[in-house]
Amino acid sequence: MNDEQRRIEGIGMTSARTRERLVQRLIDNGISHQVILDRIRRVPRHLFVDEALQSRAYEDSALPIGHGQTISQPYIVALMTQALVDGKGIRDLGKVLEVGTGCGYQTAVLATLVGTIYTIERIRDLSRATRNRLSDLGVHNIRYRHGDGMQGWPGQAPFDGILVAAAPSGIPEALLEQLAVGGRLIIPVGPPGGQELVRVTRGATGLEQETLCQVSFVPLLEGTG
């Protein structure tokens, strides 16, 4: 194994055994989609956090990534991905919008399950670093944009799925308008301490909303940084 392979595979606290314990914890908590579990197993989460935090990368917890942002808890990443893709194939999810690229971990987990991900990040430095990281890892079905996630990506709409990695106080109307018929929007909504993860499905006659669980996300902010 060369140095680059060692960097990606991880050693010690980032070993395959450590990853397998994380996957088993997700199974115990109700994650059943086998492709998602395999992605959690394979995506090198330690490369998405600072070196000082790499020994904690395969804990089921959120971690800081700078700029006041976090890498989401693996369970929440798996849950949101499962809520978006369950019962659907790549042909059903040809175009997916991700609001809040962050460090790119959610993007990497989702990438093999959909056709193309259109991902928006409001913080320019995060967007640039994540583009380089995912390219190095061979994840190429991504289109990047530095912009205001509240506005979505009108020029590429409609989307078969929309996944939002930060919490607005209410669901942005622009995102609902950009959801295709049959599409799903997965989004945390509400103030800190009172957020709910919801799934909105656009049917032929309107929108259907369901609450999945209580969550805690950084707020979704307007504008760019």
Catalytic residues: 72
- The DSSP H or E segment spanning 26 is helix 16-28
For β-strands 142-146 and 206-215, DSSP reports them as unpaired
Answer whether 46's CB lies under 8 Å from 82's CB: no
Beta partners for 155? none
d(CA 120, CA 148): 7
Q: Hunting for tokens 């990695």 — which residue is that? A: 165
Question: What SS3 state is found at 203?
Answer: strand
Closest CA to 190 of 219, 162, 147, 165: 219
d(CA 106, CA 130): 11
Question: Which DSSP letter does residue 11 get?
Answer: -
